[in-house]
Structure 1
Amino acid sequence: MELHKSFLDHKVTKSSPSPALCCVETVSQDEQNSHITAYNSGDGSTNSDNESSSSKTVRDVHISMRLMEDFLDLAKENTEKDLETCGILGAFLEKGTLYMTTLIIPKQESASNSCNATNEEEVFTILNDRSLYPVGWIHTHPSQSCFMSSVDLHTQYSYQAMIPEAFAIVLAPTDTSRSCGLFRLTEPDGMNILKNCPERGFHPHKEPDNGNPVYEHCSNVYKNSNLRFEIFDLR
């Protein structure tokens, strides 16, 4: 428990093993917890117009907004080469809330429109050693817009089937309308479509018969300005 509490203060420490970096944000008290739904590149404002009732049945997740900034820095070399970069988000559960405290960048194979993690046992070792939930994942779209491709949807299904709160962060630095999106599959519609889809690679998915979307913006993710997190770059 002491380990978990240490991620919620303003201290910055060096973690072990050595590839871990610890970061902390410090802002005024009234800005310490802010809701995130759709993050716009223009003014940094949020938009809750697309909230869905399905997200309101899951537990809240707290992340640091520093996460996106630091991930883009780590992905910069790939982004300049038009290659995607992906990472896994680990969180601990305390009093009904999930706190994202670990970003793991696995060894990976990247292309301009895809990114596949390799040596995934290294990721699970870090998560298991810290008793963390794989609460989601993050990846870049170096030259595409901010959306979830069919391959992304299948990846998201694998996370959300394990952890209902799991979400995907898409960072699209060249998208002038929205450079960052936090997405999840709708429940039950989107989850059922992906569960019953046998196809792989890039392919179209049928929209639910009731007119609901396959995926939506998250309404249960908050930025916590006191939340410190570790980065493990395993590449």
Structure 2
Amino acid sequence: MYHQMNIHAVTVSFPSPSISGVEDALQVSHLSPIKTTDPKHGTTSSSHDCRSSSLQDVHISERLMEDFLELAKDNTEKDLETCGVLGAFLDSGTFYVTTLIIPKQESSSNSCLAKNEEEVFAIQHEHSLFPVGWIHTHPSQSCFMSSIDLHTQYSYQVMVPEAFAIVMAPTDTSRNYGIFRLSDPGGMDILRDCAETGFHLHKDPADGIPVYQRCTNVYKNSNLRFEIFDLR
């Protein structure tokens, strides 16, 4: 079924489609933690960070995030969200994000719904990729996870425990992007038991840890090659 889909229009291949990203990506000399500032405390870490020895590390190119924001620019100027899916391969216990897939989608100022998801699955299948996360814009909102975002994140995290969400908020002067995941087990339990749709409130987990947290197992790797499939 997959070979019948005409979906392989590559928007970006960085640095080159002919260069394998595996060997260079495994070099740690171009590796550093992705840091975001806590708007309340002005720090890059807190007790609300997600730290777990059971989670495998994830590497991503910061340029991929920048390129996504550029591809979302037209929507952002119209106050429309844009979303994309992050695909990764697993090598020696580390996930390497090598593919961004921007699906056909319907957007508003505070939501984004992917369409024709079988096209996304086809690319993931052909390239043997794990759906390790997703990325979306908040064109005029601050950098946070809405209740709808949390339900989307749950669908990823229940498949891949390391799955994370990147929120790009270009108009947020205190923090223009964040990398988040649901707390586990607290946040995961809350979302698993929630049948509500649309925007709504979630109760706090009983353990006192927030429903979602910043990730500290995600690293930027400037050597990591990636491709972007824009299917819109």
Q: TM-score of the superposition, structure 2-length normalised? A: 0.87
1:136-189, Cα deviation, whole Å (9 max, x unpaired): 000000000000000000000000000000000000011000000000000000
> Compared with structure 1, are the counterparts of its residues 180 and 104 closer, same or farther at alpha carbon in structure 2 (3 Å cutoff)?
same
**Is structure 2 residue 83 aligned with structure 1 residue 59?**
no
Against the structure 1 CA distance between its residues 94 and 39, is the aligned structure 2 distance closer, same or farther, given a 3 Å change threshold?
farther
Relative to structure 1, the CA distance from residue 30 to residue 125 in structure 2 (aligned partners, 3 Å threshold; closer, same or farther) is closer
> What residue in structure 2 maps to residue 121 of structure 1?
118
Task: Tell me by how many angstroms 1:56 deviates.
Answer: 3.3
Question: With structure 1 as the length reference, what TM-score do the two structures score?
Answer: 0.86
Whether 2:34 is the aligned partner of 1:36: answer: yes
Distance 1:46 1:137 in 2: 25
- How large is the Cα RMSD of the aligned pairs? 2.2
Task: Give the C-alpha shift of residue 98 in structure 1.
Answer: 0.4
Q: What SS does the corresponding residue of 1:57 show, helix, strand or coil?
A: coil
Mapping of residues 98-137 of structure 1, within 5 Å: 98-137=95-134
Provide the rounded CA distance (Å) in 1 between the counterparts of 2:15 and 2:53: 28
Q: Percent identity?
A: 66
Instruction: Confirm whether residue 158 of structure 1 aligns to residue 159 of structure 2.
Output: no
Report the secondary structure of 2:194's partner residue.
coil
* Alpha-carbon offset, residue 57 of structure 1: 1.8
Q: CA deviation at 1:24?
A: 3.5
Unaligned residue ranges in structure 1 (runs of 5+): 1-15
Please name the residue that 2:196 is paired with. Answer: 199
Once residues 73 and 63 of structure 2 are traced to their aligned partners in structure 1, the CA distance between those partners, rounded to angstroms, is: 15
Question: Unmatched 5+ residue regions in structure 2?
Answer: 1-6, 17-23
Change (3 A) 1:20 1:147: same
Partner of 2:44: 47
Partner of 2:143: 146
